[in-house]
Structure 1
Amino acid sequence: MELLTTFEKYCSLSLPLSTYLPELRFFQSGTVTIYAGKERRELAVHKAILSESGSPSLQKLAEPGWRESSEGCIDWTHTSTPTVERVLTWLYLRDYTSPDPIRREGSVRSEEADNIVDGQDPKVREDTQSVAGQYGEIEESNEAVEPLAEAEAAPEPPPEPDYSDVEDLELQNAILDSCSQRPLTPLGTCVGLPPVTTTYKTAAGLFEEEEFPIHSFSYREPLLAHVEVYSFGKYHFLRGLQDLALQRMIVTLRKIDCSVKYAREELGEIIEFAYDNIDATGDGEEPMRKLLSQFAAANYTSLLHGSFETLFGRGGEFTLDLARKLSRRLLAHGVSGRLVEDELEQRIQTLEVRVQERDETIKSLNVSLNDLREWGRGFNRRGSRGRYR
């Protein structure tokens, strides 16, 4: 069985790494040093991992005759160190971890919020309770205390009849023999250990269980991590890594409430980064671009404000993708094609006006620059004549 097939078989069972380490020969192969990020952090990867990755570009790095293989080092300083670490983790385990959303500055922690009851600070509440306790010791009760009624003695149950005299001797011996032959305690129970579990949740499953409200947490880091991993996978033809990054992106986007103002800023930044760094090559719409533009179209009314509206107004490929999806969305809801055309035409006219204003500003600046240059040349000529006279 091939190495990659064996590796995928064990990974599909979600077993720990120690389970299949002895059965994989690629851990006996040599390693290659990777220099990752601007800080040139040194990481190591087995050559067999690169050879069995399924990526033509990564396979070349481990083949004899190539500089990386002969020198034993790979230069990935153009890629951030966390992205390289996630890619290497995926090559070994077919999964990778991403950073959790970061708590925003000034947001109240949930534990502190839970301690505040009815707008009262916990310290104030403790002081109030202590004062109440002091006054409670001074107060005297004027109510008469009724004596407790004596509990009536419960009647004794009647004695059970003794049938030992009438039972057969053979029946008694059979009962005693059956009680003496009991099964042994299971091994796991006798030492007090739980059974071994063989199912582990993926990083996406663990992330999905957590709660990160966007008004208190920033989603920029996890979104950017998935886009960078996807971009690396696409560049090196790692289809499995691309699919996983898309799945992780979907899980993250589902947690974002687009009605919060932070969502517009962070999504706009991620969309701009994705369209600038992921080329729309191949047949059909590029998957990551399609996912982001589809999410923007589904939340169009909540997102089209502020910085996100500015991004849409710049035009370009994202604006075209979003406009196509909006037109299909309006048509699906029974809106006439004429209304869709009118809305898109109005958007196009707005973009054309902005482009014209920008062109006029550029022309005006060029005229001012030329006048300044001509004035400088005339000044230099007059100055030179004055010196030679």
Structure 2
Amino acid sequence: MRLVVLGLSLSSSWGNGHATTFRALLKAFAARGHDILFLERDVPWYASNRDVTDPEYCALRYYADLAALETWRDVIAEADAVIVGSYVPDGVAVGRFVQAHARGVTAFYDIDTPVTLAKLARGDFEYLSPEIIPGYDVYLSFTGGPTLRHIEQTYRSPAARALYCSVDPDAYPPLDVPKTWDLSYLGTYSPDRQPTLERLLIEPARRLPERRFVVAGPQYPADIDWPGNVERIEHLPPAEHPAFYSASRYTLNVTRADMIAAGWSPSVRLFEAAASAVPIVSDRWEGLDQLFAPEREIVLADTSDEVVDLLSKTDAAAAAKMGHAARARVLHGHTAADRAAELETYLEEAFATSQPELVGAE
């Protein structure tokens, strides 16, 4: 299959989880024998923070603006499938361009589905608009559950399919390193996540001054009152994630408000942490218990008291057992290879539906 992907970023993981998601998925998709071209908008904030420049599993090329997409018109037209990702700059215009010229299957890959739907509901069409959704043969959604039916019924998508984030287990192995922190968190600052971070990490840090905490990620405001026992790491490249997780007795998963409301929205960080066999403390949302078994593969917490109690009574053997149980769950259903197989199936189904005469001819 010749696949073209127009995504937010493959080259830079700075301030976004899209890059690691695309890297794992496309590496596994290429391993299935497919040919991939990734087209990335050349923007200064990613250009100055690139940590992948020449991936072995696909061709990575840049375009300066919408007009520059004309250079790739024939490639897009001849591809067997073309995927446009969420948060792509000028995404509505990019989508129209792809739908106008692609002769193969077209798909929208939404790595931010609840955020996207909230934006659509309030008339914010930053990278997707209601009128172009029916023009995509398949809507690949970061969110599963009832949201898929909503996309089909409300926005007339021909086919909405769950394509959760995943992890390359070879890139996120458990490492035998000293435990540096009692509780860690890896994530870019988000105003709607901050209250949960305050409740489940910052307040416990205040109450447990003898314990060690860390928050890694960019864009946190300068006026946040970090306790003295909370270490800050401004940016952590993906290559350093496994060591970061493995150095944590527990790691925290915090979910954006729109994603909690939608449910069924596991972040890539959740799978990466689990693959690293670190026990996870998470906020609650519908569908999470279908991905990881509470109390056996993950800890669900609502209050500062619960986190303080957990860290105060940490049983290292029990924590390690939970971490390895979560890793086992990820290895059987949430690897990049699993997602690549699902993606292949979805694209083949969309091809059969949109071009049945060619399927019959074969």
- TM-score scaled by structure 1? 0.26
- TM-score scaled by structure 2? 0.27
Structure with the higher fraction of residues in helix conformation: 1
Computing the radius of gyration over CA atoms, which structure comes out larger, 1 or 2? 1
Structure with the higher fraction of residues in strand conformation: 2
